[in-house]
Amino acid sequence: MDSNSLEKLLELIDKLKEVKTLSKHEQLVLGIIDTINSGHLTIGDQLPSINVMVDEVGFARKTIVKAYEELKAKGLVESKKTKGYFVVNSNTQLFLRIALIMYSFQRFQQEFYNTLRKNLEDKVQIDVFFHHNNEDVFETIFGNIVGKYGMYVVAPIEHERSKEVLASLQPEKLIVIDRYLDIGKEYSYVVQEFYHSTLKVFNQLLPKMKKYKRSVLFYREDRDYPQGIKRSFEEFCSANDIDQQILPMYESEEVVKDTLYICIDDADLWLLLKDCRNSDFRIGKDVGVLSFNDHVVKEIISGGITTISADFKEMATLTAKNIRNLSYDNSIIPTSLLERGSI
């Protein structure tokens, strides 16, 4: 190992020493992996001897040995008797640890995870965390995991505090998914766009929406609902002289005839459909129903529910492609209208 490569390795390990949640042997393992990824360590290169690492890094001999043996177990290095440890594999992606941080465990987010898992190598480890749109939880998660993963795939909270947390990560180790957050042009994202796409769908549905006396959107400010949906609804109704109302949630037995209901949360949808059935209201005739985020149940129930939905499988496929290729990419996943008989 030449002096430039050793200097780079020690520099990367020093940076990881600043991450208080990493153990010493984790700092060494990740430092060597980062040095391989940077190209300063290549196949055939010899790692510094145990004695050199003890002198340069200041860790105990057993800590250095533990780190080198872990790299052996990962298949990245091999030891040669009396000669030391040598790099034998530069494909660190086969052993990549990914932190997937999402809003909550919902069906479409499970679909994203399953597709991401399917499109990545078997030896990639994906750990899932949920922040529930809570800034304190979001910051706590990152406080516990920063520096421990080779890639962070994050559905962010639309807040300045989230920006600060995510901007502390290296751009090549972060992919923003689902919701766009402007961290900087050097960061990758694979996201939905809510305002323009939802407005476009409303305009497509204008003739059908006009047949109802009132349109009601269920929108909670304290949840992870996209702000663009509310904004597009208000502007659309104002521009087209539609009587509208925004309520935080659907209340049981409050269904009103000749009303179009727009549900973001499936909990509101299921309760609404139950009350329509109990009141003998015909979906698509007496009451209109529009839902976000499609899945197979909405194709079947009540003759089919019209939905506005992004393709989460495509989102996950593009995310996996970026991870596999170590590529920088910015993608907007189109939102589609799936018309059925509910409006």
pLDDT at 122 over 90: no
Q: Where in the chain is the domain with CATH 3.40.50.2300?
A: 95-193+312-335, 195-310
pLDDT at 109 over 80: yes
Q: Which two tokens stand for residue 302?
A: 């009540």
Determine the average pLDDT of the residues in 134-162: 90
How far is residue 241's CA from residue 123's CA, in Å, rounded to a whole number? 56
Look up the CATH superfamily of 95-193+312-335.
Response regulator (3.40.50.2300)
**How does the average pLDDT of the chain come out, rounded?**
92
Task: State which amino acid sits at residue 189.
Answer: Y
CATH of 3-93, one of 1.10.260.40, 1.20.120.80, 1.10.10.10, 1.50.10.10: 1.10.10.10
How far is residue 121's CA from residue 132's CA, in Å, rounded to a whole number? 28
Q: Where in the chain is the domain with CATH 1.10.10.10?
A: 3-93
8 A C-beta contact, residue 49 and residue 84: yes
pLDDT at 8 over 80: yes
Q: Which two tokens stand for residue 112?
A: 């994203």
Determine the average pLDDT of the residues in 166-190: 92
How far is residue 99's CA from residue 126's CA, in Å, rounded to a whole number? 6
Query: What pLDDT score does 247 carry?
Result: 98
How far is residue 249's CA from residue 257's CA, in Å, rounded to a whole number? 17
8 A C-beta contact, residue 268 and residue 296: no
pLDDT at 94 over 70: no
Determine the average pLDDT of the residues in 120-126: 79
For residue 215, the number of C-alpha atoms closer than 13 Å in the C-beta half-sphere is: 25
How far is residue 200's CA from residue 233's CA, in Å, rounded to a whole number? 11
Determine the average pLDDT of the residues in 300-326: 93
Using DSSP, how many helices (H) and how many strands (E) does the chain show?
Answer: 13, 14
Architecture of the domain whose range is 195-310: 3-Layer(aba) Sandwich (3.40)
- In which band, very low, low, confident or very high, does the pLDDT at 146 lie, cut at 50, 70 and 90? confident
